[in-house]
Amino acid sequence: MTEHRTVFNHVGLCVRDTARSRRFYEGLLGFQFWWDLEPPDNMTSALIGLPEPLGVKATYLVRDGFVLELMDYSKREVHVGSERLMDQVGLTHISLSVSDLPGVLEQVPEFGGEVLHGSVSAGAAMIRDPDGQLLELLADGWLKALPPRP
């Protein structure tokens, strides 16, 4: 066991359009705006390993203690990577429980996302946000089946 304290901070997501992503995460999934940060390029460049200029604007959204950082680059072209698959090493998806799964799925296209129709069941579905990030939506009845958290 480590001697130091570790606290969850956030998950970062590169986006093409902050306003579009905020509309999706806030309007569809109930995240709340927390704050914006525009760090200086020189410090950010060294931290994230990308050359200047960057023009990063980081927008922080919160849902049930989970912090999602939307990273938008105004001074560089962002790149659409390969479509993430569930068997690729690294972050595969973000999972959220919703009280009305069919109702949320019906609204996904209106908020710029995509429902992966082959994944839809009575209790779960996979969707993509406007930039293709994979999200798992679970009916909130699943929460009752979980063991107590440590």
Q: 107 phi and psi, to 5 degrees? A: -90, -15
Q: 26 phi and psi, to 5 degrees? A: -80, -50
pTM of the model: 0.91
pLDDT score of 89 = 83
> CATH code for 92-150?
3.10.180.10
pLDDT score of 95 = 95
Q: Count CB neighbours of 56 within 10 A.
A: 22
- Dmax (CA) for the chain in angstroms is 49
Q: Do domains 1-76 and 92-150 have the same CATH topology?
A: yes
Give the chain's count of helices (H) and strands (E): 3, 8
Q: Residue 37 in contact with residue 60, Cβ under 8 Å?
A: yes
Domain boundaries, the chain: 1-76, 92-150
pLDDT score of 1 = 67
Residue found under tokens 């922080």: 60
97 sits in which H/E element: strand 94-98
CATH 1.10.1060.10 fits 1-76, yes or no: no
Ranges of residues in the chain with a pLDDT under 50 are none
